[in-house]
Amino acid sequence: MKVVLQNLTKIYPSRNKKTDSDVIAVNDFSFEIASGDLVGLLGPSGCGKSTALNLICGLQSPTSGSIFFDEDDVTAVPPERRGVGVVFQNYALYPHLTVKENILFPLQNLKGPDKIPKQDMLNRANEVAGLVQIAGLMERKPSELSGGQQQRVAIARALVKMPRILLLDEPFSNLDARLRLQTREELRRIQRQTQITTVFVTHDQEEAMSISDTIIVMRDGKIEQIGKPQQVYDNPANLFVASFLGTPPINVFEGHVANGSAYIGNEAVISGINAENQQVYIGIRPEGFILNRQGPLKCELSRVEAMGRDISIVSKHSASASSIVRSICSESDISFESEQVCFSLKPEKVFLFSKETEERITSA
């Protein structure tokens, strides 16, 4: 099912009228989620992504704007009648109920014409339990499960009533690194299998990039960019999106554009730029560096880290916005004794941002 948000705004009024100003948690959100999509809502903590999720599921009501599920305006519909499944950050499994009872709970709440016979309930519970691979744990209490298992139970409970939309709030944040990798693949598989429109919230860009069909990057309640993960990574709209996506993070230099070339210090690092002369931030992805003894970008070598397949060269540059410049190269053609390391750059991995607005300057 399609989800459409129109000019959605949520304002928390200030507690202390004299000193605080109102907090705008979600600011004029408008976007459309295609049916069957897996969407990652991505942003740093406090950017309003959980609020956005709560608005979609109905636990909070917007200050203004509307929400549509397909053609139905659900803005004023209470959460219990929206037909959404939610996986909470701490899973919110009822600790006194067994896994089976937890999964059955939403079905037992059905009333009137939606009511289903007991045997059907059990069948459906077993079906979703099979889907998330917890069929053997049905009689256990949540406290007897590992974090990953609890999360599967939470997903099963959200799926069992066949929701129109599945919403997940930081679904992987309570899992350890290995389990996180595994579980996000699992989520992807379950989502593919059920074809339920899914929105999940995360502050981890890698998570969002790896499994989403679409990512929505947020900052301070505003949408910064929407797009396919690779597209957003390759074409960031502004400095924030560029620095938020990617590990290791993008390297940012202060520089300027003059006569069709971008300069860092006195060196022209990229030429053929179709923009007027101005002060800029130059963002270079770690994989955008090429080791080249004659390269224009000269950095002071700090150390070289072997990362298995690649090597990571950590260096310093006076124009860099952060204390280190990290580049990733596959060739190990570097003399470790030298104090200087020179790079040429891959133009498609270099982005220019206006110093004033931090918006991207497209050179095409």
Q: How far apart are CA 231 and CA 226, in angstroms?
A: 9
Rank residues 109 and 182 by Cβ distance to another protein and give the closer one: 109
Q: Is 62 in the site for another protein (CB under 8 A)?
A: no
Nearest approach, Cβ of residue 131 and another protein (Å): 18
Rank residues 50 and 238 by Cβ distance to another protein and give the closer one: 50
Q: Residue 249 carries which DSSP code?
A: P
Rank residues 93 and 342 by Cβ distance to another protein and give the closer one: 93
Write the binding mask 230 to 269 for another protein: x where contact by CB under 8 A, - elsewhere. Answer: ----------------------------------------
Q: How far apart are CA 201 and CA 308, in angstroms?
A: 32
Rank residues 96 and 293 by Cβ distance to another protein and give the closer one: 96
For residues 24 and 9, is the Cβ–Cβ distance under 8 A? Answer: yes
Among 23, 24, 59, 304, binds another protein (CB under 8 A): 59
Rank residues 99 and 291 by Cβ distance to another protein and give the closer one: 99
Q: Please enumerate in sequence order all residues whose Cβ is within 8 A of that of 203, keeping only pairs 6 or more positions apart, or say none.
A: 42, 43, 44, 45, 49, 170, 173
Among 109, 146, 247, 277, binds another protein (CB under 8 A): 109
Exposed, middle or buried: residue 153 (CB in 10 Å: 0-12, 13-18, 19+)? buried
Q: Is 164 in the site for another protein (CB under 8 A)?
A: no
Rank residues 89 and 363 by Cβ distance to another protein and give the closer one: 89
Q: Is 52 in the site for another protein (CB under 8 A)?
A: no
Rank residues 107 and 284 by Cβ distance to another protein and give the closer one: 107
**H helix runs in 132-176, sequence order:** 147-159
Q: Please enumerate in sequence order all residues whose Cβ is within 8 A of that of 333, keeping only pairs 6 or more positions apart, or say none.
A: 291
DSSP per-residue codes, 67-112:
EEETTEE-TTS-GGGTTEEEE-TTTT--TTS-HHHHHHHHHHT--G
Rank residues 194 and 235 by Cβ distance to another protein and give the closer one: 194
Nearest approach, Cβ of residue 232 and another protein (Å): 30
Strand (E) positions, 170-260? 197-202, 214-219, 222-227, 251-258
Write the binding mask 178 to 217 for another protein: x where contact by CB under 8 A, - elsewhere. Answer: ----------------------------------------
Q: How far apart are CA 338 and CA 329, in angstroms?
A: 17
Nearest approach, Cβ of residue 82 and another protein (Å): 8
Rank residues 163 and 288 by Cβ distance to another protein and give the closer one: 163
Q: How far apart are CA 326 and CA 286, in angstroms?
A: 6
Among 80, 127, 348, 359, binds another protein (CB under 8 A): 80
* Helix, coil or strand: residue 334: coil
| Stretch of 73-81, 178-186, 206-214, 337-345 lying at the interface with another protein (CB under 8 A) | 73-81
What is the distance of C-alpha 166 from the center of its chain? 16
Among 76, 110, 116, 258, binds another protein (CB under 8 A): 110
Nearest approach, Cβ of residue 330 and another protein (Å): 46
Helix (H), strand (E) at residue 240 = helix 239-244
Nearest approach, Cβ of residue 165 and another protein (Å): 11
Q: Residue 333 carries which DSSP code?
A: -
For residues 35 and 2, is the Cβ–Cβ distance under 8 A? Answer: yes
Between helix 99-108 and helix 147-159 the angle, nearest 10°, is 20
Q: Is 157 in the site for another protein (CB under 8 A)?
A: yes
Write the binding mask 81 to 100 for another protein: x where contact by CB under 8 A, - elsewhere. Answer: x--xxx-x-x-x-xxxx---
Residues that bind another protein (CB under 8 A): 57, 59, 78-81, 84-86, 88, 90, 92, 94-97, 105-106, 108-111, 157, 161
